[in-house]
Amino acid sequence: MSTESNDREHAAYDFAHVQEKWLPVWDRIEPFKSGRADDMRPKKYVLDMFPYPSGDLHMGHAEAYALGDVISRYWVQKGFNVMHPIGWDAFGLPAENAAIKRNEDPRIWTYENIATQKASMRRFACSFDWDRVFNTCDPEYYRWNQWLFLQLYKRGLAYRKDSAVNWCPGCQTVLANEQVVAGLCERCDTAVTKKKLNQWYFKITDYADRLLDDMEQLEGKWPEKVLMMQRNWIGRSMGANVKFAIDGLPEPVTIYTTRPDTLYGATFFVVAADSELAAKLAAGTEVEKEFNEYLEKIKAASDIDRLATDRPKTGVFLGRYAINPVNGEKLPIWASDYVLADYGTGAIMAVPAHDQRDLDFARAMKLPVRVVVDTGEEDPNETGIATGGDGVLVNSQGLNGLKKEEAIQKIIAQLEKDGLGKASRNYRLRDWLVSRQRYWGTPIPIVHCEKCGEVPVEEKDLPLQLPLAEGLDLKPKGTSPLGAATDWVNVACPKCAGPAKRDTDTMDTFVDSSWYFLRYPSSTNHDEPFSRKDIDTWLPVDQYVGGVTHAILHLLYSRFFTKVLNDIGMLDFNEPFTRLLNQGMVLMDGSAMSKSRGNLVRLSDELAHHGVDAIRLSMVFSGPPEDDVDWADVSPSGSVKFLSRAWRLSGDVSSAPGVDFKSGDLSLRKATHKALNDASFAVESFRFNVAVARVMELVNATRKAIDSGCGAADPAVREAAEAIAIMLSLVAPFTAEEMWERLGHAPSVALAGWPEVDATLLVADAVEAVIQINGKIKERIEVSPTITDAEIEALALAHPTIVAELAGSTPKKVIARAPKLVNIVA
RNA sequence: GCGGGAGUGGUGAAAUGGCAGACACGCAGGUCUUAGGAACCUGUGUCUUCGGACGUGCGGGUUCAAGUCCCGCCUCCCGCACCA
């Protein structure tokens, strides 16, 4: 061997060259093609949340795809037919805003970015099945959005109503409840206001109970945090509806309460100031003017102001009285903004003694407070603190002496018997508002006819294509830009052929993502959104990977769609994602990266400096996948160092491929099989960082074996190097492929298969046991791993150190846990 | 306010109730070198009278044994936020 080649052997390997070398090879082999007709491997569906095509991939994408790839590539190595698809969530505001700025069709920007991201994903060695790609802005995709909309419409699950909706003045469109974050628009952070509009909704509230109860199936498989967030978001509460007669009016008013046991403690009555009921009660009375002034005032207050829970209570006495059905008392009726119009019935009985908000209002308005549950706490009249806990009922006639729960049961039974009320439940969840007054989305397939009213577009006429943007003013102005596409808008009514107009709103892009995972297995199907056969083969998704930002939006909507499709009979499962992994964010110096903050790390720069494998490795090794990664804390150059160390091993191996490992050095063989076993376990429990650590240990052990142990020719060295290449292929595919070739194998290492672990090699020859006295370590001894409790106890008690420590006294108790530990209680 | 999660070396982090700090980063020293931003080796929780002692946010408890389980605090992060 010449000095020159020796130098090359020991130089750090050229990652740029290796990357260029393998990409075309993989293009040819297509190691990750799924669902070939003759494929007999068991299936797995591993899914990464699809990206929004806004510019090139960034560090966050790199983190997510690196993690998804570990899982996907692992199952391929384990012999599964893995479908790991990708597509683009391509409709939406960023494209439209970019189009306005550049004065061109959003299609151009969108498809350009998709091409850029696709090329970057290939270079990043994402193990995607490229045959299944689609974009939600393709007519071939969104026609099925429209088709699904019509199926929901047929079943009364898509409907229009007038309502006060969330309005973003920045985006000039309405927003779903889920898209309002702390009173601000999720997209642009503008303060959201209310607007009365007629809009399309999906009736997700019909599914509230199932969305809640089916979460039982996800327990332990989804992050507890996401389940908690969904539970809170749905917010089921149990209580009762109670009818209150109104003095001087023929119709009673129904209220909702979770505490019907406190009915005798009601001292006033409140209706939501912005409800129709309040307007009706005020109409024609002497307080009408005062009420209207109050209403104007609270309408002007933004949601932000409303968020301050400690702001003083306000309201107007409406001059009317409600009659308490249990004792006939006259309760003054107030209008206030602390009662919400769209929750429950928009009216409440106020029990200030046992509800803090009612108490705050009572104190502000000098209204009486009556205790009806003795909780053992101090009088709310004096402390100003309502007592909401359990206790014994007082001042409540037939309920006196009962505990809270008993009283609730008894009063509900009584109310039902008397026809004055009934048990009821309520949800925080509201119906999903799906109309948007913007251009770049799926057109709603409804025609409005002067004669026939609302008429659905016929299924055979789908897709209802979005008109070209040319000639349309896309600038946000509060009504859909589609309204100006007169040729498109004016149509013949599908029913009577008379003059009619298309609905000009587009669908929320969350509609697109609520079912896209069902489309991948059937992505080339032109006759239906997905075929039953494909669904039965691949779904549900075995492993979903994505950010926690979608904990309630996308994940709740997808669960809803799945349940609807289950009801329609298009699929036979009711939860779409069996397991969910939420990866953390990539931060820089403790905060999210942003241009304005000046802490943006460009993925392309990092890849150029350290190579794809080192960046992927750094992401995976930095810590548990759910935790955020602070890029300031990771060392990509350390990853480069490790990868070249591993790579050098493959050049040192001097035995031939196919050599029988059985004759190899036993201690290195044991290290190899332990690493394979531990790494496997770590990957399956999402501790990818630990899996990498096990590979590092094996690299270290192999280095030592070559330099100062059994030597490079020992078969165990080859076995170790091959195992390292295979394990590394999950994280560092280029390095692993290069190693595999240098070890004399044909590509691709991705399909090499996870080596069978030999259980007999997992047993160590000797293990170190500790001997404790009173829990403190006094001595360490080498023992056989198969030693019994009695044997190890005897060894411990006979050990000179222990004999000396005990100084002749008899131990009170000896706990032996062979082969690890003996604890002597002296 | 309500709900959830987390606090371990200089740093990122490991640890089925059983040896706290695996694996790395960083740092220090060394070997080889014309050179080192290469490679390799050694050391690296704190205190220490060099025997050891102490050590996982704080205070209690359960246990032969607690980073891990239980109770009460403190701090930080996330979600919801007048939902009756």
Take residue A75 and report the two structure tokens written for it.
């199952």
- pLDDT tens-digit series, residues A589-622: 888 888 877 888 999 999 999 999 999 999 999 9
Distance A647 CA to B32 C1' (A): 22
Is the minimum distance from the CB of A257 to strand B below 7 Å?
Answer: yes
Which residue is closest to B4 in terms of CA–C1' distance?
Answer: A225
Take residue A728 and report the two structure tokens written for it.
């590394």
Which residue is closest to B65 in terms of CA–C1' distance?
Answer: A775
CB < 7 A to strand B: residues 49-88, chain A: none
Kindly give, in sequence order, each residue whose CB lies less than 8 Å from that of residue A450, ignoring residues fewer than 6 positions away. A498, A499, A500
Is the minimum distance from the CB of A632 to strand B below 7 Å?
Answer: no
Kindly give, in sequence order, each residue whose CB lies less than 8 Å from that of residue A808, ignoring residues fewer than 6 positions away. none
Q: How much is the pLDDT for A240?
A: 94
Nucleotide nearest to A259 (CA to C1'): B84
Among A7-21, A375-389, A604-618, which is the least confidently predicted range? Answer: A7-21
Nucleotide nearest to A343 (CA to C1'): B83
Mean pLDDT computed over A113-124: 97
Distance A500 CA to B59 C1' (A): 75
Mean pLDDT computed over A728-741: 96
A608 three-class SS = helix
Q: How much is the pLDDT for A1?
A: 30
Is the minimum distance from the CB of A182 to strand B below 7 Å?
Answer: yes
Q: What mean pLDDT, rounded, does chain A reach? A: 91
Distance A702 CA to B38 C1' (A): 20
Burial class (CB in 10 A: 0-12, 13-18, 19+), A658: exposed
A46, pLDDT greater than 80: yes
Distance A640 CA to B51 C1' (A): 45
Chain B: positions less than 7 Å from a protein CB are 1, 3-5, 11-15, 18-20, 22-26, 38-41, 53-54, 64-66, 78-84
- What does the alpha-carbon distance between residue A720 and residue A728 come to, in Å, rounded to a whole number? 12
Is the minimum distance from the CB of A302 to strand B below 7 Å?
Answer: no
Distance A718 CA to B21 C1' (A): 32
Is the minimum distance from the CB of A26 to strand B below 7 Å?
Answer: no
- Helix or strand run (H / E) with residue A825: strand A821-825
Is the minimum distance from the CB of A703 to strand B below 7 Å?
Answer: yes
pLDDT tier for residue A306 given thresholds of 50, 70 and 90: low
- pLDDT tens-digit series, residues A664-712: 999 999 999 999 999 999 999 999 999 999 999 999 999 999 988 899 9
CB < 7 A to strand B: residues 431-490, chain A: none
CB < 7 A to strand B: residues 713-742, chain A: none
Is the minimum distance from the CB of A205 to strand B below 7 Å?
Answer: no
Any idea what DSSP says for residue A642?
H
Which residue is closest to B41 in terms of CA–C1' distance?
Answer: A704
Is the minimum distance from the CB of A239 to strand B below 7 Å?
Answer: yes
Nucleotide nearest to A707 (CA to C1'): B40
* Percent of chain A residues past pLDDT 70, beyond the cut: 97
Take residue A254 and report the two structure tokens written for it.
């129904």
Among candidate residues A751, A667, A679, the one with its CA nearest the CA of residue A717:
A667
A284 within 8 A of A308, measured Cβ to Cβ: no
3-state helix, strand, coil in chain A (%, to 5): 45, 20, 35
Which residue is closest to B5 in terms of CA–C1' distance?
Answer: A225
Which residue is closest to B63 in terms of CA–C1' distance?
Answer: A775
A752 within 8 A of A728, measured Cβ to Cβ: no
- What does the alpha-carbon distance between residue A805 and residue A772 come to, in Å, rounded to a whole number? 11
Is the minimum distance from the CB of A265 to strand B below 7 Å?
Answer: no
DSSP string computed for A591-602:
EE--TTTT----
Is the minimum distance from the CB of A772 to strand B below 7 Å?
Answer: yes
Distance A813 CA to B51 C1' (A): 27
Which residue is closest to B83 in terms of CA–C1' distance?
Answer: A428
Among candidate residues A431, A426, A469, A16, the one with its CA nearest the CA of residue A238:
A426
Nucleotide nearest to A704 (CA to C1'): B40
Mean pLDDT computed over A189-215: 90
Nucleotide nearest to A298 (CA to C1'): B82
- pLDDT tens-digit series, residues A175-185: 887 788 777 78
- What does the alpha-carbon distance between residue A814 and residue A792 come to, in Å, rounded to a whole number? 11
Q: How much is the pLDDT for A12?
A: 57
Is the minimum distance from the CB of A224 to strand B below 7 Å?
Answer: yes
A826 three-class SS = coil
Take residue A587 and report the two structure tokens written for it.
């931060």
Is the minimum distance from the CB of A630 to strand B below 7 Å?
Answer: yes
- What does the alpha-carbon distance between residue A262 and residue A348 come to, in Å, rounded to a whole number? 12
CB < 7 A to strand B: residues 383-412, chain A: none
DSSP tally for chain A: helices H, then strands E: 28, 32
Which residue is closest to B6 in terms of CA–C1' distance?
Answer: A627
CA R_g for chain A: 34
Mean pLDDT computed over A425-442: 92
Q: How much is the pLDDT for A625?
A: 94
A5, pLDDT greater than 80: no
Torsion of CA A162, A166, A172, A176, to 10 degrees: -90
Q: Which residues pair with A543 in a beta bridge?
A: A46
Nucleotide nearest to A825 (CA to C1'): B64
The DSSP bridge pattern shows strands A821-825 and A767-773 to be parallel
Distance A23 CA to B1 C1' (A): 56
- pLDDT tens-digit series, residues A761-802: 998 777 888 888 888 888 888 888 888 888 898 888 888 888
A807, pLDDT greater than 80: no
Take residue A121 and report the two structure tokens written for it.
């994903």
Q: Which residues pair with A293 in a beta bridge?
A: none
Any idea what DSSP says for residue A328?
-
- pLDDT tens-digit series, residues A480-519: 899 999 999 999 999 999 999 999 999 999 999 999 999 9
**Cis omega before residue A625 (within 30°)?**
no
A7, pLDDT greater than 90: no
Largest separation between any pair of C-alpha atoms in chain A: 108
Among A271-275, A285-289, A309-313, A471-475, which is the least confidently predicted range? Answer: A309-313
pLDDT tier for residue A322 given thresholds of 50, 70 and 90: very high
- pLDDT tens-digit series, residues A16-42: 999 999 999 999 999 999 987 788 899
* Percent of chain A residues past pLDDT 90, beyond the cut: 71
Distance A270 CA to B14 C1' (A): 57
Is the minimum distance from the CB of A338 to strand B below 7 Å?
Answer: yes
Nucleotide nearest to A767 (CA to C1'): B19
Among candidate residues A42, A196, A145, A105, the one with its CA nearest the CA of residue A472:
A105
Distance A165 CA to B7 C1' (A): 42
CB < 7 A to strand B: residues 737-756, chain A: none
Q: How much is the pLDDT for A781?
A: 85
Which residue is closest to B80 in terms of CA–C1' distance?
Answer: A232
Q: How much is the pLDDT for A759?
A: 92
Mean pLDDT computed over A560-586: 95
Rounded to 5°, angle at Cα A486 from A485 and A492: 125
Q: How far is CA A352 from CA A256, A258, A651, in A?
A: 16, 14, 80
Among A66-70, A563-567, A597-601, which is the least confidently predicted range? Answer: A597-601
Q: Which residues pair with A161 in a beta bridge?
A: A199
- pLDDT tens-digit series, residues A147-159: 999 999 999 999 9
Distance A617 CA to B14 C1' (A): 18
Rounded to 5°, angle at Cα A132 from A131 and A134: 120
Mean pLDDT computed over A194-208: 91
A304, pLDDT greater than 70: no
Distance A694 CA to B23 C1' (A): 7
**For A244-308, what is the HEC assignment?**
EEECCCCCCEEEEECCHHHHHHCCEEEEECCCHHHHHHHCCCCCHHHHHHHHHHHHHCCHHHHHC
Q: In what order do the strands lie in the sheet with A629-630?
A: A591-592, A586-588, A629-630
